[in-house]
A and B are shown apart, each in its own frame.
Chain A
Amino acid sequence: MMKVRNLKKSYGQGSEKVEILKGLNFDIQEGETVALIGKSGSGKSTLLSLLSGLDRPDSGEVFLNEKNIFEMSDRELAIFRSQNIGIVFQQFHLVSTLTALENIILPLELSGVAEPYERAQELIDAVGLSHRAHHLPSQLSGGECQRVAIARALSIKPRILFADEPSGNLDEETGEMVMNLLFEMVKDTRTTLVLVTHDLELAQKCSRIIHLEHGSIG
């Protein structure tokens, strides 16, 4: 489903240049749950930003359903992302002026889904927050914000879901609850999941672990 070929990325210039990803090659199958683990600075987030089309590599290719996403223009990529890719961030990143429900509706309307409200309502029910649907993010707890973020990411029925340390900003109990919810929903919707985490225990819940070390797969 996703093919990664000779993916390279570096930051800085000249002698200051640091190679973050040193020519990565791997595949991800449909419905697979993959954990990306590694120490800080190993290139996990950089890889995630490239796989999700948030950034462009120095060289290399990422195919999603046989389409090289880096051949698309910024505009095409933005549209493609809005229809095929879901992302859950560590800091939740909900739009502060939109309610929980509106945060879920936003990507649905961007991708042109026919009945966004009904779909968003289903999802907010699914994450157990229908009673908080019309609250602003500032009125929600961290766990609630992350549940909304998961619902939002899954709202467009993405082909692949990227989750960047989704429990990193939550206490242990809430984090576990949120992760269970995430795995459940991914399983129910048969969505492919790429999870960036430090937590080995959490990584072991995934069907495969990719260990990154100094920009290469270890």
Chain B
Amino acid sequence: MIFKFFTIKEFKKFWPFYGLVVFTVLLGTLGLSGISLISSKVQGELNARAKELLTSDFALNARRNFTEEELKFIEDLKERSEASYKVVDIYSMLTLERTKDTRLVEVRGIEEGFPFHGSIQASEPLTATGLYISEDLERLWGVTKGDTVLLGELSFQVKDIIRKDSSVGLRGFSLAPRIYLPLKDLEKTGLLKFGATGSYAYHFLFPRYTKTHLENLKKEVFRKFTDPALRVSLPENSSGQTARAVNMLTNFMSLAALIGLILSLVGIFYLYQSHFAARLKDYCLLYLHGLSKIKLITWLILQFTVLFTFVMIIQVSFFSTGYHWIRPLLESNLGLDLGESISLDVLVFQIPFLYALSVLILVPLLLGLLRTPMGISLKSSKIVMGQFRYYDFLPFIVCLWFFSWSLSGSLRIGNIFFGGLLLVFLVSSLIVKVWQWSILKVLSPKHLRFFSLELGVALRQIARSGHKLTFSFLSLCLGATLISLILQLDIKVQSEFELKEEKPALFIFDIQEEQIEDLLKIAEDLKTPLEAVTPMIRARLETVNNRPFERKKRDIKLREEGDEEARIRNNALNLTSRDFLSPSERIIKGKDFKEINTDKALVSLESRWAQRMNIKIGDELKFDIQGVEFEATVVNLKEIKWTSFYPNFFVNVSPPHLEGAPRTYLAILPQTYSELKNDFQRAVLRKLPNISFIDVENLIEQIWRLFLKSKVAIELISILSLFVGLVILYGLCHDQVYRRYYDLALFKGLGMTTGQVRKSLLLEFGLLFLISIITGLLLGWFMAQVISQEAFKLSWSISVERLVIPGVILIILCLATIVVSSYRALKGQARDLLSEN
């Protein structure tokens, strides 16, 4: 009861402080909760649509034709299931007869009964006769119902336009729009030749099977067939594929929002530190009147809990009403029907973490209170709060690490993020220490002047403000790091995807060996030289140093970083054979083929792939190429810039050892011949209809659009974080200046004018802002370089204007903050220093 009474009194009396705490917690948690809610909503929708995405309950698929034994098993499955159908997906070029325009499309050959789940809606129900095209083709290309299109060796009339396709995942980046036609017709087009990029699948309907039944069936397949090329798809896997893009984006944004939360926690720490210092005398009095320290701390935690609950109530109300406003925007960007209402379960799940983090940041201060000798403090002239120790932050740090791991959805990304935070903290602490130490070394003990008296006073203030400066520095530095990270990543990705001379205009694939001569002839006739004609050989890695290389990660839940590894481990791989490096390749370890004089086959590997597969230079690899075994020794590791869109491979075997192996070829049309790309495609398709093209310009444009969508979301979060940073900054500056109210009044009493005092303050904080913001911007730049090098293989670069402009803006904003927050303190009069005032 007495706690309740005191709490209400406390809130009433110190409402500006508690108001600021509520505001700070609210700002810090708002971004994070918002992103988590949206992410969970999208995930929920994808899970609900999982069966529709797969179209069936169970599917067996492979990027090759099924073997006799597999087909026997499929026949058995057909008998056990209620119904089944076969689907073949292949990428190919489609020509519109009317305009002779050509375009890469994803061709899906279907059988009667497709789809078991979901619906493919045209103006009439979809049947397994005739060719249907996606709405994208109508929009982009002007294809209409009844138009004639050429596909492979056949021509078709467009039967209808598909208005809604529940088997398509999130709308975003895709290589090509989809068309549907009967499987028997697809087989007649001649597109399903060896080497074509096709995927074959049998789908089954098991209406009475539970999830466990399906899992058991999957295990049965894997027991029977060890070939990693054979895959099993269940509904939950199919949604995972499309959700991964959303996951990565939301995880990244969550981490950005987490920085906002950390900034607000720094602010809460700072606010409470000042509050406890100001209220210490009252706490000592309460202690003298019998309130134990434990009860006092319990009371303070209870107070905070009340505030936190209040913040959460505001958030829940905000999201329940705000969702209706942002829903149309999300739906149009994600291509998902998100539904009328939003479930707040994820917020409820997150609240304990947020609460734990917020309370744990206060633990060092509460322990400081515990360490305060309250009984004797009242006797001394100055009541000083007990010091907190650095290890008091340990519970907070552990909780933060756990939270960042959980938010990022990956231990590795969580660790990188946490490592980045630690780096900012360590660098900030180090810079502050070195800075303070060097100022003290430079300052003359004989003069306060350092160019001017104001600067001398300001420098001493910086040099002797101890860990308070570290906190101010750290919070500013974190904010600047985040802003710089986003701006630098943005410009790097932008410049990388800008069409440059060295990027090809067309990427040409599915070229049969016997077609090369004809293709070169067409290119010569059109005066469009083909470049980087590279063989692609389908193989399977059998052994490494005579140890079998087998299915290993089939059953684990895939994460972003493990996904590619698992894919490669489980699948046949495509390799090449050439004795030159493409412009986007660079050997980073080992020797070039030309430097080694041997008759044995040599192999060059992409370094990150080799690292993930645990393969080193000198290892002996055995491949299976269409049933023929082949051995080679790893002699070098190379770095590949994949965004160059050149034909590049993880594995390159020295020629001429693979002469005679079945292969197809890839080639590129250089960017300089961009204007001829349509003529070239038409000419090729007339003569060689199975050859496919990827329009790199168009592809880059698609990636660019996707990037722009993500950018807006990330920028919103950054602005929110920046706003949190500014509020914290205001609180921090206000607190710093307010704490020095008497010092400032004293300066006046000793004869400094208000202008001189203001100048000294501006110099002190200006220097703090300048150095912390420069450090933050540089750290952000550094992190952007590391991330872009790690994730995209982009080379290091610097955008000076993206460092200088935000730097200047931030410093001006900060200085404006200090001018505003010092306004009241500078009005303080020296008479306040007298005993009766």
Q: Which residue of B lies closest to A121 (CB)?
A: B446
Known: A54-B749, A74-B754. A106 touches B833 (CB 8 A): no
What 0/1 readout, one digit per residue, does chain A (16-45) give for beta carbons within 8 Å of chain B? 000000000000000000000000110011
**Any chain A CB within 8 A of the CB of B650?**
no
By the criterion CB–CB under 8 Å, are B465 and A49 in contact?
no
**Contact count band on B:** 20 to 34
Closest CB in chain B relative to A179 CB, distance in Å:
15
**Any chain A CB within 8 A of the CB of B589?**
no
- Chain B residues 720 to 751 lying within 8 A of chain A, measured CB to CB, are 742-743, 746-751
By the criterion CB–CB under 8 Å, are B751 and A111 in contact?
yes
By the criterion CB–CB under 8 Å, are A117 and B751 in contact?
no
Residues of B within 8 A of A196 (CB): 835
A98 to B831, CA, bound (A): 21
**Any chain A CB within 8 A of the CB of B67?**
no
**Any chain B CB within 8 A of the CB of A142?**
yes
**Any chain A CB within 8 A of the CB of B175?**
no
**Any chain B CB within 8 A of the CB of A6?**
no
Residues of A within 8 A of B447 (CB): 105, 109, 116-117
- Chain B residues 443 to 461 lying within 8 A of chain A, measured CB to CB, are 445-449, 453, 457, 460-461
Residues of B within 8 A of A95 (CB): 457, 743, 746-747
Closest CB in chain B relative to A129 CB, distance in Å:
15
**Any chain A CB within 8 A of the CB of B837?**
yes
By the criterion CB–CB under 8 Å, are B460 and A83 in contact?
no
Q: Which residue of B lies closest to A86 (CB)?
A: B750
**Any chain B CB within 8 A of the CB of A126?**
no
By the criterion CB–CB under 8 Å, are B837 and A45 in contact?
yes
By the criterion CB–CB under 8 Å, are B751 and A110 in contact?
yes
**Contact count band on A:** 35 or more
Q: Which of B449, B464, B742, B831 has a CB less than 8 Å from the CB of A93?
A: B742
By the criterion CB–CB under 8 Å, are B453 and A110 in contact?
yes
Closest CB in chain B relative to A188 CB, distance in Å:
22
**Any chain A CB within 8 A of the CB of B122?**
no
Residues of A within 8 A of B429 (CB): none
**Any chain B CB within 8 A of the CB of A164?**
yes
Residues of B within 8 A of A105 (CB): 446-448
Q: Which of A44, A110, A164 has a CB less than 8 Å from the CB of B750?
A: A110
Residues of B within 8 A of A200 (CB): none
By the criterion CB–CB under 8 Å, are B747 and A142 in contact?
no
By the criterion CB–CB under 8 Å, are B464 and A117 in contact?
no
Q: Which of B464, B465, B752 has a CB less than 8 Å from the CB of A110?
A: B752
- Report the tally of A-B residue pairs with Cβ distances under 8 A: 104
By the criterion CB–CB under 8 Å, are B831 and A106 in contact?
no
By the criterion CB–CB under 8 Å, are B837 and A109 in contact?
no
By the criterion CB–CB under 8 Å, are A82 and B750 in contact?
yes
**Any chain A CB within 8 A of the CB of B338?**
no
- Chain A residues 33 to 63 lying within 8 A of chain B, measured CB to CB, are 40-41, 44-46, 48-49, 54-55
**Any chain B CB within 8 A of the CB of A10?**
no
By the criterion CB–CB under 8 Å, are A82 and B448 in contact?
no
By the criterion CB–CB under 8 Å, are A81 and B829 in contact?
no
Q: Which of B743, B833, B836 has a CB less than 8 Å from the CB of A40?
A: B836
Q: Which residue of A lies closest to B453 (CB)?
A: A109
Residues of A within 8 A of B465 (CB): 97
**Any chain A CB within 8 A of the CB of B805?**
no
**Any chain B CB within 8 A of the CB of A96?**
yes
Known: A93-B833, A109-B453. A74 touches B753 (CB 8 A): yes
What 0/1 readout, one digit per residue, does chain A (76-87) give for beta carbons within 8 Å of chain B? 001101110001
Q: In the complex, which of the residues A79, A82, A106, A164 has the most CB atoms of chain B within 10 Å of its own CB atom?
A: A106
By the criterion CB–CB under 8 Å, are B750 and A106 in contact?
yes
Q: In the complex, which of the residues B453, B743, B750, B830 has the most CB atoms of chain A within 10 Å of its own CB atom?
A: B750
By the criterion CB–CB under 8 Å, are A102 and B753 in contact?
no
By the criterion CB–CB under 8 Å, are A54 and B445 in contact?
no
Residues of A within 8 A of B442 (CB): none
**Any chain A CB within 8 A of the CB of B834?**
yes
**Any chain A CB within 8 A of the CB of B381?**
yes
A37 to B835, CA, bound (A): 13
Closest CB in chain A relative to B409 CB, distance in Å:
47
A134 to B460, CA, bound (A): 13
Q: Which of B445, B752, B836 has a CB less than 8 Å from the CB of A101?
A: B445
What 0/1 readout, one digit per residue, does chain B (811-837) give for beta carbons within 8 Å of chain A? 000000000000000000111011111
What 0/1 readout, one digit per residue, does chain A (88-115) give for beta carbons within 8 Å of chain B? 0111010111110110011101110000
Q: Which of A45, A75, A81, A106 has a CB less than 8 Å from the CB of B836?
A: A45
**Any chain B CB within 8 A of the CB of A136?**
yes
Residues of B within 8 A of A54 (CB): 749, 829-831, 833-834
Q: Which of B464, B742, B750 has a CB less than 8 Å from the CB of A97?
A: B464
By the criterion CB–CB under 8 Å, are B743 and A83 in contact?
no
**Any chain B CB within 8 A of the CB of A216?**
no
Residues of B within 8 A of A90 (CB): 834-835
A26 to B68, CA, bound (A): 121
A66 to B353, CA, bound (A): 71
Residues of B within 8 A of A75 (CB): 753, 755
Pairs A–B under 8 Å by Cβ, sample size 19: A49-B830, A55-B831, A78-B752, A78-B753, A82-B751, A90-B834, A90-B835, A93-B749, A96-B464, A97-B464, A105-B448, A106-B457, A109-B447, A110-B453, A116-B448, A117-B445, A117-B446, A142-B381, A164-B834
The 9 closest A-B pairs by CB, nearest first: A82-B751, A45-B836, A117-B446, A49-B831, A90-B835, A45-B834, A54-B831, A97-B464, A54-B830
